[in-house]
Structure 1
Amino acid sequence: MAMARGSSGLAYPERFYAAASYAGFDGSPSPKGVSSKFSTDVALLLYALYQQATVGPCKIPKPRGWSPVEQSKWTSWNGLGNMASTEAMRLFVKILEEEDPGWYSRVSNFVSEPVVDLAINHNLKDEPIAQNGNAFLETKTICSENGTSSENQDKDIVLDGLGSVNLYDQWVEPPVSGPRPKARYEHGAAVIDDKMYIFGGNHNGRYLSDLQVLDLRSWTWSRIEVKPGNESVEAPSPVTVSPCAGHSLIPWGTNKLLCVAGHTKDPSETIQVKVFDLQTYTWSILKTYGKPPVSRGGQSVTLVGSSLVIFGGQDAKRSLLNDLHLLDLETMTWDEIDAVGVSPSPRSDHAAAVHAERYLLIFGGGSHATCFNDLHVLDLQAMEWSRPTQQVEIPSPRAGHAGVTVGENWFIVGGGDNKSGVSETVVLNMSTLVWSVVTTVQGRVPIASEGLSLALSSYNGEDILIAFGGYNGRYNNEVNILKLSHKSTLQSKVETPVPDSVSAVHNATKASRDVESELENGQEGKIREIVMDNVDSDPMGTRVEESNERLLAILKAEKETLESSISKEKMESLQLKQELAEAETRNTDLYKELQSVRGQLAAEQSRCFKLEVDVAELRQKLQSMETLQKELEILQRQKAASEQAALGARQRQGSGGMWGWLAGTPPNQKDEDDDDA
């Protein structure tokens, strides 16, 4: 078949492959660099022409569950119909020349090389590919001097996934490879040594037990094949890990994962702590002492030093909890904590974090009917609950969210309020209790999901959040990452610090006294310093003394003004303390009243149930009475008929008797015979 030729005299197949290679097509079905060179419309058209020229007309079915990009690519390719491959080649080259007239002069070395080499073997530099607003380097195969192909020497740098993230404070989806885990939510996630481990979860009401790992340097998924393990060190026997959801996955040391609590199909009576060894790939059950908490899911588990702090959750009977337990990982002993103060209301699917290795923070969560956005703080030294005042705008109520801490910043992602997912990624400065929004996503995306996981990793000193899975009307298995900017990670340093803000109201009086003392000492020292400087500068002058006296008077007036301000602040602080105490008292009274009303409601419900039973019994008796009444009426009619028949018989018997009636003798004739006799 004769080949069409272009204006340069080069056969279209050769010129086409040179153009395709320059545009970023290397022979694979998808463009490698075209989206970074041209606009979206031009890129889609070039892709469609390339497919038409190399594959032929589009015969694959329209994608249904793919991304909008795949939908657009299919639409563009399918729209070419039965266009000939040579025509597609010609249009491809023509469009490229219109978009970039000088392209051919920059790759003139392609003319003398074979067509196959043109499509595979070129020495262009790697081009960054834009995906979801982020730039990732693509590894290409280059030709060595002896003609054999070898991998790029910078492969380790190119494949260094976390290092390829260029956008800050924006969620992007990296180009992961390997078999993706099943979509899920309410799973556990943890990062150890640049690897993110995913365990369990819920998919369409089915609990999962697989353990997946994502290599954060190559963005490759793989499944861990678990080997039979031991129940404990003392009792060697095989362990079968039950599928679960709503559990917590905690990194322990450098090569172990702790799986704490969670919902299962056959729950145990108490919480079990399972250990996965990353060296032996085995599960085992941690042998503990003391009284373990009742089994549950949706709780929070926080590692504080060498102890696990467990709060809240929902037990197997769907009862919400707000109890507090501690597991010492050195002695393996459980301890139930009876903290003072007003504890958070029973809840599950909340988030917890620790600040300064002393304060446990609880945010949000939900009950059976509502979601919360309250913040509670537990002083782990005094074992006292408090509810501090949050600054700026408080985030909306949510449950099923996830959080991680970076320094004194607590990042909260996802969650929902039984109506929609939360689109904002927020951060709480745990020293100032100031909330701020990091970024906001649009539409129904995996980040705005309930039951997603959030982990933290770092690269070259930069912190990166990694989110996976979740449920927002559909089950997700996408990975999204957010690189924290210098501003967001150091935000607390530019804010005005509040002394010990997690108990700021409690320490308000002490802070006022400290400020007053500093002001008094500072003012007196300043007065003495100014006076001595003036005396030394002019020891002989009377004017200096007068000036000093005026200065002293001014400073004394300022001191009195400051003292007055401090007194006002102290009064306001005392008033706030009184209002807080009253609010806590009202809260306690309301909670007691709520419990009382709940008890009354339960009693009324029981009474209502009994009344319904009585009504049912009375209705049954009423139906029986109606049946008896009908039977009585029938018997009465039968009785009346019998009485009527008996009455007629007596009347006949009285007028001649039965025998006369049978003989046919008239009554009058019988009487006459009697008279003759």
Structure 2
Amino acid sequence: MRAFDLQTNTWSILKTYGKQPASLGGQSVPLVGTSLVIFGRQDAKRSPGVPPSPCSDHAVAVHAERYLFIFGGGFTRYLPTQQGDIPAPTVGHAGVTIGENWFIVGGGDSKSGVSETIVLNMSTFVWSVVTTVEGRVPVASEGLSLVVSTYNGEDVIVSFGEYNGRYNNEVNVLKPSHKPTLPVKAIESPLPDSVSAAHNATNATRDLESEVEAVPDGRRDFVVDNIEKDPRKSRNGGTAEHLLATLKAEKEELESSLNKEKLSLQLRQEISEAETRNTDLYKVDVAELKQKLQMMETLQKELELLQRQEAASEQAALMAKQKQNSGGMWTWITGTPPSLKLDGV
């Protein structure tokens, strides 16, 4: 997996972990939160992938953090009534979303590449042509990848690579901008419950204008005007009330989570203080024990000294007694041992 830095125009390799997916092609990889979701793909034998329903050479976009829109590919999901410049079936294209707008770039029909960059308003299902390129350029080919990023505070759409008879590693940039909207007839056909809950028909679409700017390092910049960046402006009053209720519920949930975090932090602080107190008490106990041990060693040395002095005193007393009781050789010669002497002799 590689990453492209828009500030420095440099590539880098990202380190990944876990079991890597098989080397296949034709898949779509939308960004959902902080995760890349691989959907569909095929190998050289054109065998289908694993569930969810297998398909390839399609484009996918995430809307309202709940729905996946699938365009083209091997299978067709729910097909709503569409208006505007409805595109022809293609494969090998790529798509990204900005607000309620879904941009589709590149692709082909096995005969030629698609030169138009198109956009779908996912609330009104109205298609519009953003810009058209001329010649065999990378953005009018199959197999390119597309991502939304920010450059100098603006949303930009970055494309990389493609195949139009030969492989290409060119990078192209599309810059959307905003202008007032024009009215359009609302969608009259009913939508399924699972879709209509998130797509209330509105009376707004976009008049898309574009121009091409030259940029350094061989990149192309396409500036697109009149792309609505705030989806709430096209919602009706009921949706606004629903959004307000949702934000209120999220606020209460965040406050509850914040209170839990505060309580958890307080408990951790109390545990840390208790551990600190226990550590201080342990240090005091160790110091007292060391002091007592030193006192015991001193007493032991004094006791040993007294024992040696006592032994020396006893030895000296014994020798003095023996010397006092001994009368010398003359006493034995005269036949009167010291223990048999008479009084006065």
TM-score by length of structure 1 reads 0.26
More helix, by proportion:
1
Between structure 1 and structure 2, the one with the greater Rg is 2
More strand, by proportion:
2
TM-score by length of structure 2 reads 0.49
